[in-house]
C-alpha cells in the first residue's frame, strides 16, 4: 500500500465493472460463464451495444413468432 493512496485511509478502490457472458465449450458440450473486466471508458459503448443487440434479438423473435403463427 502506498502512503498517498486513498486506500490507506480505509476507502476502497473501485468500482470495478465486469461483463458476464456465456461461451459454449465444444470439448465439454456445455456453456460456461465468463467474466471480463470492463475499463470505465468502455462502459457506455458496451451498454449501447448490449441494448442494440437485445433490440435486434427482440425483432428477430417477433419475426419468427409471426412466421410460425402463419402456419
Q: What are the boundaries of each domain within the chain?
A: 14-69
What is the C-alpha to C-alpha distance for residues 2 and 61, in angstroms, rounded to an integer? 53
Span 19-30, average pLDDT: 94
Q: What percent of the chain has pLDDT over 90?
A: 73
Q: For residue range 44-61, what is the model confidence (pLDDT) as tens digits?
A: 999 999 999 999 999 999
The per-residue pLDDT for 5 is: 82
Dihedral, 36, 41, 44, 45 alpha carbons, nearest 10: -70
Q: What percent of the chain has pLDDT over 70?
A: 99
pTM confidence score: 0.63
CA atoms within 13 Å, Cβ hemisphere of 59? 6
The per-residue pLDDT for 3 is: 76
For residue 36, pLDDT beyond 80: yes
Amino acid at each position: 500500500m502506498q502512503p498517498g493512496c486513498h486506500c490507506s485511509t480505509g476507502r476502497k478502490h473501485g468500482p470495478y465493472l465486469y461483463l458476464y457472458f456465456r461461451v459454449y465449450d465444444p470439448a465439454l458440450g456445455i456453456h460456461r460463464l465468463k467474466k471480463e473486466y470492463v475499463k470505465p471508458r468502455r462502459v457506455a459503448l458496451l451498454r449501447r451495444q448490449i441494448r442494440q443487440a437485445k433490440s435486434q434479438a427482440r425483432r428477430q423473435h417477433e419475426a419468427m413468432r409471426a412466421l410460425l403463427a402463419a402456419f
